[in-house]
């Protein structure tokens, strides 16, 4: 693997339910291919999400007080609001008469939820993320009761938006996958976005508090199954390590960014890595882990990419303290005989590197959408809402290295505007509240 240092510049250029209730069989949500069966996406803009007669139930939200703020915004606009808490972190950030603890196990959850919704005549539920087990089961229950499930997720278009869709997000979204749908839309100006003012330090703080309280109160919620490791000591050390690595790589990768965007402009393929536990990887792709993805990309690059091209892997910032692929990439590059053409980095300036890459390879990261904004060709290897002819390369990866293709600027404008209007809220879970102007 190519080791970068500054000399190179000069040399060359992620209440207790009744026991015994049988587990409800979980029908798998539609795959990205099956989702094309929904030709028309919900035509209502996401801001028209509630009715005065709604009786709303909130499940798990983002770690922190976002759902508490959201409930305060909802109360004067709907008939009633309830919240179900699953662990101590949920409880800490949302306490009150309208909050209920669920103390049962996963197997009893669907029946508990179905009964709760019927007794309180719930007309709409809101939750964050549709891949964690409690939420996947909740979406199934909502379908059986014909109740809309409104799902929050990180923004498709970042950093100034968050996502809200009915029924599913990411590869479970009912967004049209046929480019003809978007070609038929008017080419209108993009709506202006206010800065979301997301604060990373706030994210780290809220997460630390959430996991600490959750761990300390695990005696009460002993049947709860979390989708990630719930040990705050381990997580705390990982965040410290992340900070150390950020400081360690910042100066070096600033110089590397300069090197790539000047002397290597249009001579490298960028591969932004996703978080190892990201549901986009674990659920919406065929890869068992990030290493399998790296291995496939590197093998294809070694066999089919032009000899004058470089392969640049960029580590995900959220995964900085939890995983490091340096040794793995170095050994693999040497095995393929491309150690002088492979770079592994952490703190690259992503917009600049996207702008100067000759192509970008992702599983299904939203970085792919950012790449399209820079008109840089993209190859996706997992299920992605933007993977369609005219936006991404539809040929095999082996051919992408030789001919990445082009991005249709007009199709991208129409697709992006549709996303903004129908699925995005201008704001942040950890910054400017998206309903602040209402």
Q: Give CA angle at 57 (51, 59), nearest 5°.
A: 135
Q: What is the pLDDT of residue 23?
A: 34
For residues 276 and 205, membership in a common domain is answered with no
Determine the pLDDT at residue 46. Answer: 59
Close Cβ partners of 280 (under 8 Å, ≥ 6 residues apart): 14, 170, 171, 274, 363, 364, 365, 382
179 close to 391: Cβ distance less than 8 angstroms: yes
Closest to 313 measured CA to CA, from 277, 363, 263:
363
Q: What is the distance of C-alpha 307 from the center of its chain?
A: 34
For 147, the token pair is 């109740």
Sign of the alpha-carbon dihedral angle for 101, 107, 109, 112: negative
CB 344 within 8 A of CB 378: no
SS3 per residue for 221-243: CCCCCCCCCCCHHHHHHHHHHHH
180 found inside a domain = no
Nearest-angstrom CA–CA distance, 127 and 146: 16
38 inside domain = no
Q: What is the 3-state secondary structure (H, E, C) of 263-279?
A: CCCCCEEEEECCCCCCH
Residue 2: the pLDDT is 57
Indicate if 201 and 284 belong to the same structural domain: no
Using only C-alpha atoms, the chain has a radius of gyration, in whole angstroms, of 23
Is the bond preceding residue 159 a cis peptide, omega within 30 degrees? yes
Q: How far apart are CA 91 and CA 100, in angstroms?
A: 9
Instruction: Identify the CA nearest to 154 among candidates 327, 301, 278.
Output: 278
Instruction: For residues 63 and 212, state if they share a domain.
Output: yes
Residues 217 and 295 placed together within one structural domain of the fold: no
Specify whether the CB–CB gap between 381 and 397 falls below 8 A: yes
Q: Decide: 173 and 165 in contact? Cβ < 8 Å.
A: yes
Q: Check residue 389 and report its DSSP letter.
A: B
Chain-centre distance of CA 376, in angstroms? Answer: 21
- What residue has token string 């005989």? 337
Per the structure, how many domains does the chain have? Answer: 2
Q: Which of 183, 215, 167 is nearest to 34 (CA)?
A: 167
Per-residue pLDDT at 29? 39
Question: Does residue 281 sit within a domain?
Answer: yes
Say how many Å lie between the first and final Cα of the chain, rounded.
52
Domain coverage including residue 127: 51-173+185-225
On whether residue 245 sits in a domain, the answer given is no
In a domain, 31, yes or no: no
**Do 149 and 72 share a structural domain?**
yes
- Tokens read off for 80: 């009633």
Residue whose pair of structure tokens reads 């508490």 in the numeric block = 68
The answer to whether residues 69 and 216 belong to one domain is yes
* 217 lies in the same domain as 310: no
DSSP class of 4: P
**DSSP tag of 392:** B
Q: What is the pLDDT at residue 203?
A: 87
**For residue 353, what are the CA distances in angstroms to 253, 299, 314?**
11, 23, 10
Question: And the tokens for 109?
Answer: 């959850």
Same domain, 66 and 101: yes
Dist CA 279 CA 129 (whole Å): 9
pLDDT of res. 242: 76
Residues 202 and 342 in one domain: no
Let me know if residue 221 belongs to a domain.
yes
Provide the Cα torsion 71, 77, 79, 85; round to 10°: -10
- Kindly state whether residues 202 and 291 are assigned to the same domain: no
User: What is the CATH classification number for the domain harbouring 86?
Assistant: 3.40.50.720
Residue 428 falls within a domain, yes or no? no
Domain with residue 413: its CATH number is: 3.40.50.2000
CA distance linking residue 115 with residue 122, whole number of Å: 10
Residues 115 and 257 in one domain: no
Identify whether the C-beta of residue 161 lies closer than 8 Å to the C-beta of residue 425. yes
Distance from CA of residue 27 to its chain's centroid? 22
Domain assignment present for 342: yes
Domain match, 97 and 154 both: yes
Would you write out the chain's pLDDT as a tens digit for each of its 438 residues? 755 443 333 333 333 333 333 333 344 433 433 333 333 445 445 567 899 999 999 999 999 999 999 999 999 999 999 999 999 999 999 998 999 999 999 999 999 999 999 999 999 999 999 999 999 999 999 999 999 999 999 999 999 999 999 999 999 999 999 999 999 999 999 989 999 998 888 988 898 899 999 999 999 999 999 877 777 667 777 777 877 888 888 888 999 999 999 999 999 999 999 999 899 999 999 999 999 999 999 999 999 999 999 999 999 998 888 899 999 999 999 999 999 999 999 999 999 999 999 999 999 999 999 999 999 999 999 999 999 999 999 999 999 999 999 999 999 999 999 999 999 999 999 999 999 886
Per-residue pLDDT, 224? 96
Helices vs. strands in the chain: H and E counts, helices first: 15, 12
């Amino acid at each position: 693997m190519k080791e970068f240092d500054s000399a190179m510049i000069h040399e060359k250029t992620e209440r207790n339910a009744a026991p015994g209730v049988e587990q409800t069989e979980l029908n798998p949500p539609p795959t990205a291919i099956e989702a094309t069966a929904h030709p028309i996406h919900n035509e209502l803009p996401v801001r028209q999400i509630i009715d005065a007669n709604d009786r709303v139930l909130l499940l798990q939200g983002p770690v922190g007080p976002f759902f508490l703020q959201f409930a305060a915004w909802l109360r004067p606009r709907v008939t009633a609001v309830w919240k179900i808490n699953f662990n101590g972190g949920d409880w800490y950030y949302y306490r009150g008469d309208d909050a209920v603890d669920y103390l049962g196990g996963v197997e009893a959850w669907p029946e508990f939820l179905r009964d709760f919704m019927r007794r309180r005549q719930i007309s709409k539920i809101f939750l964050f993320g549709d891949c964690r087990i409690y939420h996947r089961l909740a979406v199934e229950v909502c379908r059986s009761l014909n109740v809309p499930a409104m799902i929050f997720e990180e923004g498709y278009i970042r950093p100034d938006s968050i996502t809200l869709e009915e029924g599913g997000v990411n590869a479970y979204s009912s967004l049209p996958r046929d480019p003809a749908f978007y070609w038929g839309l008017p080419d209108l100006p993009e709506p202006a976005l206010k800065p979301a003012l997301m604060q990373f330090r706030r994210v780290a703080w809220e997460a630390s508090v959430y996991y600490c309280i959750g761990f300390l109160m695990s005696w009460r919620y002993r049947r709860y199954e979390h989708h990630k490791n719930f040990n705050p000591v381990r997580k705390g050390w990982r965040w410290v390590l992340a900070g150390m690595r950020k400081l360690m790589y910042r100066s070096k990768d600033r110089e590397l960014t300069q090197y790539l965007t000047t002397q290597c402009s249009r001579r490298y393929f960028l591969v932004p890595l996703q978080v190892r536990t990201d549901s986009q990887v674990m659920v919406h792709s065929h890869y068992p882990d990030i290493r399998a993805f790296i291995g496939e990309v590197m093998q294809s690059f070694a066999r089919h990419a032009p000899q004058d091209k470089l392969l640049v892997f960029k580590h995900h910032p959220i995964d900085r303290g939890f995983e490091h692929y340096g040794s793995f990439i170095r050994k693999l590059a040497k095995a393929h005989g491309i150690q002088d053409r492979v770079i592994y980095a952490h703190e690259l300036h992503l917009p600049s590197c996207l702008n100067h890459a000759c192509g970008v390879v992702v599983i299904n990261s939203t970085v792919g959408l950012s790449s399209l904004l820079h008109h840089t060709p993209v190859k996706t290897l997992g299920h992605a809402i933007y993977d369609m002819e005219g936006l991404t390369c539809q040929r095999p990866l082996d051919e992408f290295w030789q001919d990445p293709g082009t991005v249709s600027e007009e199709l991208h404008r129409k697709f992006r505007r549709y996303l903004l209007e129908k699925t995005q809220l201008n704001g942040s879970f950890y910054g400017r509240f998206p309903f602040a102007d209402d």
